Amino acid sequence: MKNGHHNFREMNIWKNGMKIVKATYTISAALPKEEKFGLTSQIQRCSVSIPSNIAEGSGRGTVKDFIRFINYGLSSSYELETQLILVNELFKIETELLIKDIQEFQRMIIGFKRSLSSEA
């Protein structure tokens, strides 16, 4: 960790988080209009939280702080995965590919946390 900070723009976990946001917005556009302030809003906020927390944590001064924000992003990914399962079950919108991407992201985050912990 150079000077206590990571450049989030260069981090694969952040880049993948951004891809998840874009795919989530594409899926949310297919939701019924009456879900605008319900599930649509919820999955959009949740997806945006993933790379946002990674970026915020990257600017923290300690590895411990960074890991805490990475955990927030990881938690948001589990929440989003659950919401996408609901989107599929309630509205028959295809979410399986995005869920697989989220699960791969979760594995990446867990591995990244392990590498950070060894720096601490």
Q: State in words which class domain 8-119 has.
A: mainly alpha
Closest CA to 113 of 38, 32, 54, 59: 54
Half-sphere exposure of 77 (CA within 13 A, CB side): 31
What pLDDT sits at residue 120? 59
Domain ranges of the chain: 8-119
Rounded CA-CA distance 69/55 in Å is 9
Say how many C-beta atoms besides its own lie within 10 A of residue 3's C-beta: 6
What pLDDT sits at residue 5? 65
Residue that has been written with the tokens 């869920």 in this structure: 99
Q: What's the predicted TM-score (pTM) here? A: 0.92
Mean pLDDT of 30-45: 96
Q: Is the pLDDT of residue 37 over 50?
A: yes
Mean pLDDT of 94-109: 98
What pLDDT sits at residue 110? 96
What's the length of the chain? 120
Residues 6+ apart with CB under 8 A from 60: 4, 5, 66, 68, 69
Q: Is the pLDDT of residue 115 over 50?
A: yes
Rounded CA-CA distance 92/67 in Å is 36
DSSP SS3 for 1 = coil
Question: DSSP alpha helices (H): ranges in 29-95?
Answer: 41-58, 63-91
Say how many C-beta atoms besides its own lie within 10 A of residue 42's C-beta: 16
Q: Is the pLDDT of residue 53 over 60?
A: yes
